[in-house]
Structure formats: C-alpha cells, structure tokens
Amino acid sequence: MNTIQGPALFLAQFVRDTPPYNRLESICRWAADLGYSGVQIPAWEDPRFIDLKTAAESKAYCEDFRSSLASAGVVLTELNAALAGQVMAIHPAYATAFQPFYPQGLNDAERLEWASTQLQHTILASARLGLNCLPVLSGGLAWHLAYPWPQRPSGLVEAAIRELARRWLPLLNLALDHDIAIAYELHPGSDLFDGHTFELFLDVVDGHPAACLNYDPSHFVLQQLDYLEFIRFYGERIRGFHVKDAEFRPDGRGGVYGGYQSWQGRPGRFRSLGDGQVDFKRVFSLLAETDYRGWAVLEWECCLKSSEQGAREGAPFIQEHLIDVTTTAFDDFVGGESDPKLNRKILGLDHD
C-alpha cells in the first residue's frame, strides 16, 4: 500500500484578475499558506499560468516552471485538460453552449483538430514536467440519448463510443509512449459518465493501459451510483483523485434530473468538504487498499460557501483524512515467520 499524497488544490475555480489569484507565483504562494503542498493547474490558454506549447517543447522552460512553484512552496501534481477533452467530441446541439471552451469561429473538424493539438501539447508538457497523470473529460456525442426515449436505434450508442475511441486512440498511444495516464473524469455531459460507459470505451480500445480514471465521488452521488463500490471495481485504473463533496436530497418535486433548478434548488448539489454526504473516511481507506499512488486534490465547487472559505477549510480536511499506511502488521509481535513444520503441528498433523 502507498500513502496518498496531499493535500493539493485544483486552481481553476480560483483564477481571478485580482491579486493574489492573477499570477502563478502569487496564487501558489496563497495555496501554500493555506496548507496545500501541491497544485493542479488548468491547461487552458492563459499565459499567466502556463504556456503549453513552450512547455511541450522546452526542457529549460519546464525546469524554470518547476523552480517557480518550488519557490512558492508547492509542487505540480497534474495539468488538467478537462476543457480540451470535452471539445474532442461535441454534438452540434451543444456547440454554442460549449463555445467558451474553444476559440471562436471553428467548425466541427477545426474544433477536433484544435482539441487534439491542445491535448498533444499537454501530454508532452506533462512528460517534460515529470508528471504521470492527465485528468480530462471525454467529450460527448450521445449524452442527449442518456434517457432512452424515444427508443434508441440498435447500435447507436455503440457507434458513438467507437467514434469517441477513434478520436482518442492516437492520444492514448502518445500518452502511453510517455508513461502518462489519460485519467477520464466520469462526468454527466460526457459520453463516459459511469462504470458502464467506461467499460464500453475500454472494450473498444482493447483495454488500453493509458485509459485510466480521475476519481470524483461527487458526480456519483448526484447520479446515485455507489461511489465506494466503484473503487472496488475500478481501483486499478484510478490515477487521479478530486476530493469533492456533494449531497442528494430528493423530494416530491425533484430528483436526479433536478427540474432545471439552480444549483441551490437542486436535490443533487455540490458542497464544500465535510458539508455533503460523501464518506471520505471510507474513500481514503479504499484508495489506500487499492494502492493508489497519486494526489488528493481539492476541486472546490459549492453552491453555498465562498471559494475562499472552501479552500481554507479544504487543506486541513484532506490532511486529516490522509492515511500514513502501515508497513507492519499490528500482530507481528507474536511472530509471523513461515515455518511449515510448526504449521503442521498447529493443525494437529504432526505429533511429538
């Protein structure tokens, strides 16, 4: 077993145009002062935080980048390419809503080329930065078909998964060449959103070793999926971990689908750590049992608390849940050496 690394903070929800949130060094120093030892950096087009193309090409840039973070008191845990990942597959009905994720004026083919290039840069940058996990979203062509009404034509979902695999396979191969895990966060709105859909994808990519998972229990609470058993099913594929809380409190008006309500009015909603229903003691225990080697990264999203309070409370919460895994058994003192003769004697098979 391995001790999970942490606490770390995903910076995406904290980027602002005001200090200390508007520059890499100052936001990392702010995170370090709160008790975070690592940061996950969004891999989007913001030169204030990272120049992806340069990072993909320049060893010197990456060395300076790591040095800058070290001076601020943190290390880089992962680059997060969720937005580019979602753009890998966008049904035309969602193209306008997702437009903030990609440059304006691109048609379908140009969007795919842009997203693929961004992800290539992120994979190469991750390798140069000494990282081994790249959290992403999968994108979605069939999400609008999640509820089977009207009846879906036979083979429709399978066709969507095959196309998704076709788009991702070159990136999975590139990631494998550089010892990077593509960690899909199973997320409603993407075609990979639960265990069934992930297995469909794995089957099409022949169980590709780079096709892994970024575990986030909050999305499973909102789907009413057993987020603890999920770890038992897929623990060997979990390479990233977003520590995010959620609650699901249905009533006579609303359930899983939320009734088009605001986040505060939905039965299922994200909460700050400790304010929701996720059993993090069991989550951390199960991840330790599955030999998870990565970081515990706070992704703050809460419909009530401010981001500042969420970040302030998050570091000690994660720290309290980290398990310093034992290297000895608690009953070693009674003797645990293997002795075949003694074993037979204990079993009554050999007599003096």
Nearest to 267 by CA among 278, 252, 288: 252
pLDDT digit string (tens) for 205-222?
999 999 999 999 999 999
CA angle at 293 for the pair 174 and 220, rounded to the nearest 5°: 85
Task: Return d(Cα 171, Cα 124) in angstroms, integer.
Answer: 11
Residue 336, pLDDT score:
64
Backbone phi and psi for residue 200, each to the nearest 5 degrees, phi listed first? -60, -45
Confidence of residue 13 (pLDDT cuts 50, 70, 90): very high
pLDDT digit string (tens) for 41-90?
999 878 889 999 999 999 999 999 999 999 999 999 999 999 999 999 99
CB-CB contact of 318 with 7 (8 Å) = yes
Average pLDDT on 277-304 reads 97
pLDDT digit string (tens) for 276-287?
999 999 999 999
Task: Return d(Cα 48, Cα 343) in angstroms, integer.
Answer: 65
Average pLDDT on 327-341 reads 67
Residue 334 has pLDDT above 80, yes or no: no
Residue 333, pLDDT score:
55
The encoded tokens of residue 257 equal: 């689908």
Confidence of residue 167 (pLDDT cuts 50, 70, 90): very high
Listed in sequence order, the residues at least 6 apart from 263 whose beta carbon sits closer than 8 Å to its beta carbon are 269, 270, 303
Task: Return d(Cα 136, Cα 142) in angstroms, integer.
Answer: 18
User: Percent helix, strand, coil in the chain (nearest 5)?
Assistant: 45, 15, 40
Write down the mean pLDDT value for the chain. 95
Residue 347, pLDDT score:
85
Looking at residue 6, the DSSP 8-state letter turns out to be E
Cβ-count burial 212-248 (b if 16+ within 10 Å, e if not): bbbbbbbbbbbbebebeebbeebbebbbbbbbbbbbb
Q: Provide the residue type at 168 as one letter.
A: W
Average pLDDT on 11-19 reads 95
Task: Return d(Cα 40, Cα 125) in angstroms, integer.
Answer: 14
Task: Return d(Cα 54, Cα 56) in angstroms, integer.
Answer: 5
Residue 40, pLDDT score:
98
Q: Where are the domains of the chain?
A: 5-346
Residue 342, pLDDT score:
84
% the chain with pLDDT above 70: 96
Average pLDDT on 12-29 reads 96
The encoded tokens of residue 98 equal: 């997702």
Is the backbone peptide bond immediately before 150 cis, with ω within 30 degrees of 0?
yes
CB-CB contact of 317 with 273 (8 Å) = yes
Instruction: Specify the 3-state DSSP secondary structure of 106.
Output: coil
Residue 331, pLDDT score:
55
Residue 325, pLDDT score:
82
Q: What is the Cα 349 distance to its own chain's centre?
A: 53
pLDDT digit string (tens) for 132-144?
999 999 999 999 9
Residue 44, pLDDT score:
86
Confidence of residue 346 (pLDDT cuts 50, 70, 90): confident
Task: Return d(Cα 111, Cα 135) in angstroms, integer.
Answer: 20
Residue 241 has pLDDT above 90, yes or no: yes
133: left (phi over 0), alpha (psi -120 to 50) or beta: beta
Residue 8, pLDDT score:
98
Task: Return d(Cα 236, Cα 270) in angstroms, integer.
Answer: 26
Q: Which CATH architecture fits 5-346?
A: Alpha-Beta Barrel (3.20)
Residue 335, pLDDT score:
62
